[in-house]
Chains A and B, each alone.
Chain A
Amino acid sequence: MSRYIVRRLLWGVLLLIIVLAVLFVMFRVLPTADPAKLRAGRLQNPKIIAEIRHTYGLDKSLPAQFWLYLKDLFLHFDLGFSYYSGAPVKELIFDRLPATLSLVIGGAIIWVVAGVSVGIISARRAGSRLDRASMGTALVLVSAPEYWLGLITLYLFASDIGQVRIFPGAGSYVGLTTDPVKWFTSLILPWLVVAAGTAAIYARVIRGNLIETMSEDYIRTARAKGLTERRVVLRHGLRSAINPIVTILGLDIGVLLGSSVLVETVFNIPGIGRLNYIAITHADFPIVEGTVLVAALFIILANIIVDIAYAFLDPRVRYS
């Protein structure tokens, strides 16, 4: 088991270095504009540019620059400075992390609870009107683009522009430590929007898996033991049917942490996604690079956690 974990961790580190190399090429080698010139801003002259070039090691060879890049990153988590504001990218990202975490984790709780419960109910009443209605709704939610869903919910329910003004609308986000109640209410709509599509996918996956699992021999054994149907479904059936969900949950959270651009932009939530969006409009490469790196980091981390969680979930994986 511990060998398995070590192997997964080493694989993660290797993957991270590959990602970094790709990022380095993408943001340091490929851009047509000279980074030193971009950094110098409006008041540039050859002397300043040469100075910047020297300070940031841009006069060194590419391999040397890559080494420097890795060293700064691993030792100080140094992501450079914003071209636009001059603020350290590391701080900009850390400042915005809580908002993104709030959005993603709250959304994840909603989509897991909603997806799994709807999936179970649909599976147990497969073919019924309720099942067809929920699977139809799921199909709509899977197909609906997030930004569209966001705009629709704002139009319908936002307290400023909505038809039924029940939830705080765009731009109402407050930090959890500032005002927990406002934090919660301001996130209700974004949570629902972020959760809708994924909940729909989970519901369909759980439904399919559970229907399949319930015809397994070990379910017959569980029934033959004299267990209640409730226990047969929730303990024996769901235990098998939920495995793939755990796998994709880690990845979904990892991906969303780095790419909640649309929902954060629609709802004006000061998170990493919105930071990235603004940086792109300003061609602020260090921020884009930093957010992409953080996103990659989350996804790699999620992958490792999923692999390890899977070994705990399926005893057969542990020994092979």
Chain B
Amino acid sequence: MTEPLLRVEDLHVEFVTEDGVVHAVDGITYEVAAGRTLGIVGESGSGKTVASMTTLGLTRSQGARVSGRILFEGRDLVALPEAELRAVRGNEIAMVFQDPLSSLHPFFKVGWQLVEAVKAHRDVSKAAARERAIELLGLVGIPDPDRRVDSYPHEFSGGMRQRAMIAMALVNEPKLLIADEPTTALDVTVQAQILALLERLQRELGMAIVIITHDLGVVAEMADDIAVMYAGRIVETASARHMFASPEHPYTWGLLKSIPHLAGGREEELTPIPGTPPSLIHRPSGCHFHPRCPYAQPDHARIDPQLEPVADEPHHHAACLLESQLRRRLWAELGSGCTPEQAREAVGLPAPPPHPERHAPAATAAGEPSGPVPEVGL
């Protein structure tokens, strides 16, 4: 394989707070090749946003402790001085955020904000930058762009604002676009439009995309590869095809079983994952997922699982302490419509040791869970 566009190696990001050290990102490794799409999936508080913000050095101003390497075309962004990193931001790597209304400055015209993005990296005249802004607004499908360029963000609908955010991100033709929950704040019908837009732009401009989401439906449509994050770590990574066909990690199973399928019909039972994501200050011992895992065994609270290759499937890794064969059988049972308890009994696995989290009110994977998730102010 050729040199990837972005290679993140053993990235750690920590925040020191009054309550203790928040281990927001705990040693993650992934790569994105030019022109490909990586989906990073996880509940809120899993560290997926912090990881991507760190790529652009945006956690620096929040006093984050960062270690590991973020290699972008061979340059280590973690070690890059601020001035050089600034030349990368919004130019070679651009970012689209979750809430397009609060992410656009309310007091400046949309066009002005795009022009500013152009002029931050290109020495062009104001008129040329404005031309470019209008061109991009047209490209992302904003009707009447030479008039709308002078509108304020509050005059745009939610979908149009996100289109404007995307236009702003693409104005300098980045090689990598990081989209952090780009459709979460939007109506369902608009969500599909925005995803289709991103796919079209990726084809036309040939950029790589990292899409961060808690919505498996989004990555199913867009991603070539998927990484599932839990409590600051990647617990499973695979191509999108393998991830949906033969997921290996109980957390991934939980995510897949808690979203409805059209084919499943009205009778399909959804199985939520019990409990809430763990605090990133006081993380559970051993496998961080063991308090919520229906298949946990006593020694899983002791042993810390590593991301290991999955047999027969290239580029598929999972961090789970269960036997590989056992996992295949469990997934087969779940696939035939069993509940986690039925599947566990079918393969003859003892019941997990009691843990308060397993009886706590469930948080569905599709919705953002509420609960004691430490907010890392981003």
A residues adjacent to B (C-beta < 8 A)? 215-218, 220-229, 236, 239-240, 313-316, 319
Assuming the contacts A225-B116, A225-B117, asked whether A215 and B377 have C-beta atoms less than 8 A apart, the reply is yes
Q: Of B27-35, B95-103, B309-317, B360-368, which stretch is located at the interface?
A: B95-103
Q: Of B86-94, B138-146, B196-204, B244-252, which stretch is located at the interface?
A: B86-94
| Alpha-carbon distance A240/B102, docked complex (angstroms) | 13
Q: Is the CB of A218 within 8 A of B120?
A: no
Q: Is the CB of A226 within 8 A of B87?
A: yes
| Alpha-carbon distance A240/B377, docked complex (angstroms) | 20
Q: Of B14-22, B104-112, B228-236, which stretch is located at the interface?
A: B104-112
Q: Which residues of B contact A239 (CB under 8 A)?
A: 105, 107-108
Cross-chain pairs A/B with CB under 8 angstroms, 25 sampled: A216-B102, A217-B99, A218-B106, A220-B53, A220-B58, A220-B378, A221-B97, A224-B56, A224-B94, A225-B90, A225-B117, A225-B120, A226-B86, A226-B87, A226-B120, A227-B86, A227-B120, A229-B61, A229-B82, A240-B105, A240-B107, A313-B107, A314-B106, A315-B106, A316-B152
B121 at the interface (CB under 8 A from A): yes
| Alpha-carbon distance A215/B103, docked complex (angstroms) | 11
Q: How far is the CB of A214 from chain B (nearest CB, A)?
A: 8
B207 at the interface (CB under 8 A from A): no
Q: Is the CB of B104 within 8 A of A226?
A: no
Q: Is the CB of B86 within 8 A of A228?
A: yes
Q: Which residues of B contact A314 (CB under 8 A)?
A: 106-107
Q: Is the CB of A217 within 8 A of B116?
A: no
Closest A-B pairs by Cβ, 4 of them: A226-B90, A226-B89, A225-B90, A217-B102
Q: Which residues of A contact B152 (CB under 8 A)?
A: 315-316
B168 at the interface (CB under 8 A from A): yes
Closest to B104 in A: A218
User: Of the candidates A215, A225, A315, A316, which one forms a contact with B168 in the assembled complex, judged by CB atoms under 8 Å apart?
Assistant: A225
B154 at the interface (CB under 8 A from A): yes
Q: Is the CB of A221 within 8 A of B104?
A: yes
Closest to A225 in B: B90
Interface size on B, residues (CB 8 A): 33
Q: Tell me the total A-B contact number using a CB cutoff of 8 A.
A: 74
Q: Is the interface of A mostly helix, strand, loop or mixed?
A: helix
Closest to A237 in B: B105
Q: How far is the CB of B297 from chain A (nearest CB, A)?
A: 42
Q: Which residues of B contact A240 (CB under 8 A)?
A: 105-107
| Alpha-carbon distance A220/B61, docked complex (angstroms) | 10
Q: Is the CB of A224 within 8 A of B102?
A: no
Q: Is the CB of B103 within 8 A of A217?
A: yes
Q: Is the CB of A224 within 8 A of B89?
A: yes
Q: How far is the CB of B184 from chain A (nearest CB, A)?
A: 13
Q: Of residues 178 to 216 in B, which have CB atoms within 8 Å of A's CB atoms?
A: none
Closest to A313 in B: B107
| Alpha-carbon distance A185/B160, docked complex (angstroms) | 57
Closest to B106 in A: A316
| Alpha-carbon distance A220/B99, docked complex (angstroms) | 12
Closest to A239 in B: B107
Closest to B151 in A: A315
Q: Which residues of A contact B88 (CB under 8 A)?
A: 226
Q: How far is the CB of A220 from chain B (nearest CB, A)?
A: 6
Q: Which residues of B contact A222 (CB under 8 A)?
A: 105
Q: How far is the CB of A131 from chain B (nearest CB, A)?
A: 16
Given A220-B378, A240-B107, output 4 extra A-B contacts at Cβ < 8 Å: A217-B99, A220-B53, A225-B168, A226-B120
| Alpha-carbon distance A224/B97, docked complex (angstroms) | 10
Q: Is the CB of B90 within 8 A of A224?
A: yes
Q: Which residues of A contact B154 (CB under 8 A)?
A: 315-316
Q: Which residues of A contact B86 (CB under 8 A)?
A: 226-228
| Alpha-carbon distance A319/B155, docked complex (angstroms) | 10
Q: Is the CB of B97 within 8 A of A217?
A: yes
Produce 1/0 per residue, B243-281, CB < 8 A to A.
Answer: 000000000000000000000000000000000000000
Q: Which residues of B contact A217 (CB under 8 A)?
A: 97, 99, 102-103
Q: Is the CB of B378 within 8 A of A218?
A: no
| Alpha-carbon distance A220/B88, docked complex (angstroms) | 15
Give the interface centre of A220, A225, A226, A227 by most chain B CB atoms within 10 Å. Answer: A225
Q: Which residues of A contact B168 (CB under 8 A)?
A: 221, 225
Closest to B377 in A: A215
Closest to B85 in A: A226
Q: Which residues of A contact B87 (CB under 8 A)?
A: 226
User: Of the candidates B94, B102, B116, B378, which one forms a contact with A227 in the assembled complex, judged by CB atoms under 8 Å apart?
Assistant: B116
Q: Which residues of B contact A236 (CB under 8 A)?
A: 105
Q: Is the CB of B102 within 8 A of A218?
A: yes
Q: How far is the CB of B51 from chain A (nearest CB, A)?
A: 15
Produce 1/0 per residue, B46-74, CB < 8 A to A.
Answer: 00000001001010010000000000000
User: Of the candidates B82, B107, B165, B378, which one forms a contact with A315 in the assembled complex, judged by CB atoms under 8 Å apart?
Assistant: B107
User: Of the candidates A215, A220, A226, which one forms a contact with B97 in the assembled complex, judged by CB atoms under 8 Å apart?
Assistant: A220
| Alpha-carbon distance A220/B95, docked complex (angstroms) | 10
Q: Is the CB of B103 within 8 A of A226?
A: no
Q: Is the CB of B105 within 8 A of A226?
A: no
Q: Is the CB of A218 within 8 A of B58?
A: no
Q: Is the CB of A224 within 8 A of B99?
A: no
Q: Which residues of A contact B107 (CB under 8 A)?
A: 239-240, 313-315
Q: How far is the CB of A237 from chain B (nearest CB, A)?
A: 10
